[in-house]
Amino acid sequence: MTYRAPSLLFHHHLETIYPALLRHVPPRPFRRERLNTPDDDFLDLDWYENNNPRLVIISHGLEGNSQRPYILGMVRHALTQGFDVLAWNYRGCSGEINRQLRFYHSGATDDLRLVVNHAASRYTHISLIGFSLGGNLTLKFMGEPGLAPAVKRAVAFSVPLDLSSSCDAISRPGNWPYAQRFLRHLKAKVIAKAIQFPELDIQKLAGIKTLRDFDEQYTGPVHGFASAEDYYTRCSALGFLPNITLPTLLVNARNDSFLSPACYPRATNANIMTEYPDRGGHCGFVQFNRNGVYWSEERALQFLTHD
């Protein structure tokens, strides 16, 4: 199925901004569960349960959460297609600061693994969907050993497969508003975290101008990486794609200004279907229709429900 952008959204920034700021998806009732982690932290999980035998686990993007419109849209469509849904929040993303010094990051598959294994105690058919950072997390997870037998398929949208070059891409002048918004939120979290952990040096924040600076001073050191580049190298999903053994769909729009050329690899693994539509923006893929379903939601569920 081919994506065709609405003529009204004639620029890639409009394709990215419209769904982020103007889309409204009515929330549905959910059950929130707090899942404790082995290191005495927590993850907040939002369950949408209709006693369906199949489950979709959805992972959000950088500084997102389980209630963002792109998550709620996917939740709604997955429910109509006969799935239960679990939308989870990374550490510190559910409205309450997490307990440990660590945050979340693009390679934190230990937390995703905990969520999947927790869900696998109830479901024998689990599919994963990830957006942006959550897409990188999902694909890295799919390429790592030790997948639960319940995991069957995965879909990832707008994925910065090569974290280093994509970090440079989002720092280009044309993406300045996005990068600064991310940095404001990330810096605020460091300041809040420093109240818990005074050893966290907030004086460095004044010199941080780019996301790479932030990763160099905080993401890398806090999570055991030697540098930002070490973090990017070890956590980029691009290096894990050859190891994926289950059906997986990767969708990156060609006009996604957050992504570098390295994020459009040629398909070399028969288990991975790659689709690079010309339009779509970043986590966009807008459609105007009566049911409010976006193309990304239709495409994801089509892939998950058809052999």
Confirm whether 273 is domain-assigned. Answer: yes
**DSSP bridge pairs for 31:** 47
pLDDT confidence bin for 307, thresholds 50/70/90: low
Confirm whether 190 is domain-assigned. Answer: no
Cα gap 74→61, rounded to integer Å = 14
Tens digit of each residue's pLDDT (9 = 90 or more) over 172-218: 999 999 999 999 999 999 999 999 999 999 999 999 999 999 999 99
Cα gap 12→189, rounded to integer Å = 29
Cβ atoms of 259 and 169 within 8 Å: the answer is yes
Cα gap 189→81, rounded to integer Å = 37
Cβ atoms of 291 and 73 within 8 Å: the answer is no
| Predicted TM-score (pTM) of this structure | 0.97
**What pLDDT does residue 1 have?**
85
Confirm whether 216 is domain-assigned. Answer: no
Confirm whether 233 is domain-assigned. Answer: no
Mean pLDDT for the chain?
A: 97
Cβ atoms of 222 and 101 within 8 Å: the answer is yes
Domain count, the chain: 1
Selection from 279, 254, 292, 210 nearest residue 14 by Cα: 279
User: Which one-letter amino acid corresponds to residue 276?
Assistant: Y
- The total of other beta-carbon atoms located within 10 Å of residue 236's CB is 25
- The total of other beta-carbon atoms located within 10 Å of residue 180's CB is 13
Residue ranges making up the domain that contains 284: 12-165+238-305
Tens digit of each residue's pLDDT (9 = 90 or more) over 26-81: 999 999 999 999 999 999 999 999 999 999 999 999 999 999 999 999 999 999 99
Confirm whether 66 is domain-assigned. Answer: yes
Confirm whether 195 is domain-assigned. Answer: no
Sheet strands side by side (includes 42-48): 31-36, 42-48, 83-88, 54-59, 125-131, 151-157, 248-251, 272-275
Per residue, the 3-state secondary structure of the chain, as one string, reads: CCCCCCCCCCCHHHHHHHHHHCCCCCCCCCEEEEEECCCCCEEEEEEECCCCCEEEEEECCCCCCCCCHHHHHHHHHHHHCCEEEEEECCCCCCCCCCCCCCCCCCCCHHHHHHHHHHHCCCCCEEEEEEECHHHHHHHHHHCCCCCCCCEEEEEEECCCCCHHHHHHHHCCHHHHHHHHHHHHHHHHHHHHHHHHCCCCCHHHHHHCCCHHHHHHHHHHHHCCCCCHHHHHHHHCHHHHHHHCCCCEEEECCCCCCCCCHHHCCCCCCCCEEEECCCCCCCCCCCCCCCCCCCHHHHHHHHHHHCC
Tens digit of each residue's pLDDT (9 = 90 or more) over 74-102: 999 999 999 999 999 999 999 999 999 99
Selection from 242, 207, 220 nearest residue 167 by Cα: 220
Strands 125-131 and 54-59: parallel
Confirm whether 224 is domain-assigned. Answer: no
Q: Which two tokens stand for residue 232?
A: 């990017």
- The total of other beta-carbon atoms located within 10 Å of residue 91's CB is 20
The CATH number of residue 78's host domain is 3.40.50.1820
**What pLDDT does residue 267 have?**
85
Burial-class residue 292 by CB neighbours within 10 Å (0-12, 13-18, 19+). middle
Confirm whether 1 is domain-assigned. Answer: no
